[in-house]
């Protein structure tokens, strides 16, 4: 007797499928690659594969002097250029034991908060777009342009400002700039409720994000996740409040650390929106204080050849996407012996390996977008 098998169904044997998302794919930001192992429609394993746009900035630091490394450092998170510059100059100033003029401290704080809003506005508009909501991105770019105008006027750059200097800032504020900046902040604040009404209260958006991609506090701590993603999981830590730098110690009454407990995609978006609201309040407070300051120096005079003393230091800042650390080692030369960056996105994205298994492929885009990362910040 001859037995012939004509066909078998999918249930006859279990076969995993490996799916590559990226490094060039509509569902990924830039050139991140996700290697997913699927069991039907469910993800059984996930591996973030990084390194496709590696810039080698850390090695290039060793061949640039302390003035030149700023131009390299402000580009890894291209949405947070001013904040990136800030961490570098703070590390070098700490090595030199240098005190920055009060006026420069307050202006740095103001511009850091305006840069925070610019960063958050990008994600507040692009995240709903990834889930099928087209309108919010038009609102977010309108508000970004409002603030970009004042940032461009003061620094001369739209994205890579190059306005920080070791010892202070490049130059003082243009005449009448404070009033124009105050008007821009007020205009943006008056329209921010659009995101609450149009996005957060939208039942389709809530259906795609509520209860999806829950990140536990244990995973946050295990992977060193920081910033809005960590605070959305109930980790109440913000460097501006807990280890104040710049003028944040004097802004305790205005600074509000936004947290949530659910740790899902919706919570991450709500924390980001809450931080944008508070950054505008902080910018207002800085504008008021700068207006009360008497005229004074904006930077320190530096020698023609700037050399940091031999030794090592570590400076960290609360960047828009999370904690950025700068480990500087000097051998007493005009270039760093070693400059190591601890970028927020690099740590944050590793948690996807823990979070994605067990979730549906259809939820992968929602989870990935809610991690608010910049690929250059991973492959710095």
Task: Report yes or no: 344 and 227 within 8 Å, Cβ to Cβ.
Answer: yes
What pLDDT score was predicted for residue 20? 83
Write phi, then psi, for 124 (nearest 5 degrees). -65, -25
What pLDDT score was predicted for residue 12? 44
What pLDDT score was predicted for residue 262? 95
- For the stretch 206-223, pLDDT in tens is 999 999 999 999 999 999
- Over range 252-281, report the average pLDDT: 97
Tokens found for residue 171: 């130059």
d(CA 218, CA 176): 49
**Res. 19 pLDDT band, cuts 50 70 90:** confident
d(CA 139, CA 115): 17
Residue 282 contacts by C-beta under 8 Å, 6 or more apart in sequence? Answer: 109, 113, 251, 254, 255
What pLDDT score was predicted for residue 22? 75
Asked if the model's pLDDT at residue 189 lies above 90, the reply is yes
**Res. 50 pLDDT band, cuts 50 70 90:** confident
DSSP 360: B
| Angle at CA of residue 254, ends 210 and 188, nearest 5° | 65
Beta bridge partners of 314: 327
Q: Tokens 């957060």 map to which residue?
A: 200
d(CA 67, CA 232): 37
**Res. 281 pLDDT band, cuts 50 70 90:** very high
Pairing state between β 42-49 and 33-39: antiparallel
Asked if the model's pLDDT at residue 7 lies above 80, the reply is no
In SS3 terms, 87-133 reads as HHHHHHHHHHCCCCCHHHHHHHHHHHHHHHHHHHHHHHHHHHHHCCC
Fold classification of 49-378 is Cytochrome-c3 Hydrogenase; chain B (1.10.645)
What pLDDT score was predicted for residue 16? 77
Tokens found for residue 168: 């202070």
What pLDDT score was predicted for residue 29? 60
Residue 201 contacts by C-beta under 8 Å, 6 or more apart in sequence? Answer: none
**Res. 1 pLDDT band, cuts 50 70 90:** low
Task: Report yes or no: 232 and 310 within 8 Å, Cβ to Cβ.
Answer: no
What pLDDT score was predicted for residue 30? 65
- Over range 325-337, report the average pLDDT: 95
Asked if the model's pLDDT at residue 117 lies above 80, the reply is yes
- Over range 228-242, report the average pLDDT: 96
Prediction pTM value: 0.92
d(CA 189, CA 24): 36
Q: What is the CA radius of gyration of the chain?
A: 23
Q: Please report which helix (H) or strand (E) contains residue 229, including its range.
A: helix 228-232
Tokens found for residue 364: 């992968």
Asked if the model's pLDDT at residue 150 lies above 80, the reply is yes
What pLDDT score was predicted for residue 192? 95
Residue 15 contacts by C-beta under 8 Å, 6 or more apart in sequence? Answer: none
Asked if the model's pLDDT at residue 6 lies above 60, the reply is no
Average of per-residue pLDDT values in the chain: 92
Asked if the model's pLDDT at residue 142 lies above 50, the reply is yes
- Over range 71-81, report the average pLDDT: 90
């Amino acid at each position: 007797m001859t037995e012939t098998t004509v066909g078998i169904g999918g249930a006859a044997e279990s076969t995993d499928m490996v799916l590559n998302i990226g490094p060039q794919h509509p569902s990924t930001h830039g050139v991140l690659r996700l290697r997913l192992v699927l069991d039907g429609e469910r993800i059984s394993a996930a591996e973030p594969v990084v390194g496709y746009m590696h810039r080698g900035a850390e090695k290039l630091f060793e061949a640039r002097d302390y003035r030149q490394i700023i131009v390299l450092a402000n580009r890894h998170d291209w949405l947070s250029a001013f904040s990136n510059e800030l961490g570098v100059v703070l590390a070098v100033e700490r090595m030199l034991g240098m005190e920055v003029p009060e006026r420069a401290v307050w202006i740095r704080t103001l511009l850091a908060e305006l840069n925070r809003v610019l960063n958050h506005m990008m994600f507040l508009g692009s995240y709903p777009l990834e889930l099928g909501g087209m309108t919010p991105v038009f609102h977010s770019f309108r508000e970004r342009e409002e603030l970009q105008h004042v940032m461009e006027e003061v620094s001369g750059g739209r994205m890579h400002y190059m306005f920080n200097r070791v010892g202070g800032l490049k130059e003082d504020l243009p005449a009448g700039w404070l009033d124009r900046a105050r008007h821009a902040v007020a205009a943006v604040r008056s329209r921010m409720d659009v995101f609450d009404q149009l996005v957060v209260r939208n039942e389709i958006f809530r259906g795609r994000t509520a209860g999806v991609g829950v990140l536990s506090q244990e995973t946050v701590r295990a992977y060193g996740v920081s910033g809005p993603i960590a605070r959305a999981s109930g980790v109440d830590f913000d460097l501006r409040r807990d280890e104040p730098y710049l003028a944040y110690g004097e802004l305790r009454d205005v600074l509000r650390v936004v947290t949530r407990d659910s740790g899902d995609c919706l919570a991450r978006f709500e924390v980001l929106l809450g931080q944008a609201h508070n950054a505008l309040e902080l910018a207002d407070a800085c504008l008021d204080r700068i207006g009360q300051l008497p005229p004074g120096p904006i930077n320190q005079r530096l020698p023609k050849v700037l050399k940091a003393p031999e030794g090592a230091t570590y400076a960290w800042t609360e960047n828009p996407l999370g904690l950025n650390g700068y480990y500087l080692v000097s051998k007493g030369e005009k270039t760093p012996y070693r400059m190591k960056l601890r970028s927020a996105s690099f740590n944050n994205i590793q948690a996807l390996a823990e979070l994605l298994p067990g979730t549906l492929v259809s939820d992968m885009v929602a989870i990935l977008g809610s991690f608010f990362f910049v690929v250059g910040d991973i492959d710095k």
